[in-house]
Amino acid sequence: METVTTATGIDCKHFINGQYVDSANHNTFINTNPANEEVLGSVAEGGKEEIDQAVTAAKNALNGPWRT
């Protein structure tokens, strides 16, 4: 997983079609440790566009040349 360590911790992106990508809307949410509320990092917020891209990539992989 491609991550970026920042002052707030680790920032995670989506892995779609073999690449790490930001959310289309560039929104993220903060991931915290529930035991002590320490900020661990941020995670890219997914939506319809990311789902559509991931499903298309999965279909293309499934129907790839290995299937013949």
pTM (2 decimals)?
0.70
pLDDT per 10-residue tile (average), the chain, 68 residues: 59 93 92 91 94 96 79
As a whole number, the mean pLDDT across the chain is 87
Beta carbons of 26 and 39 less than 8 angstroms apart: no
Residue pair 44/12 in contact (Cβ under 8 Å)? The answer is yes
Residue 11: count of CB within 10 angstroms of its CB: 17
| Residue 35 burial (C-beta neighbours within 10 Å; 0-12, 13-18, 19+) | exposed
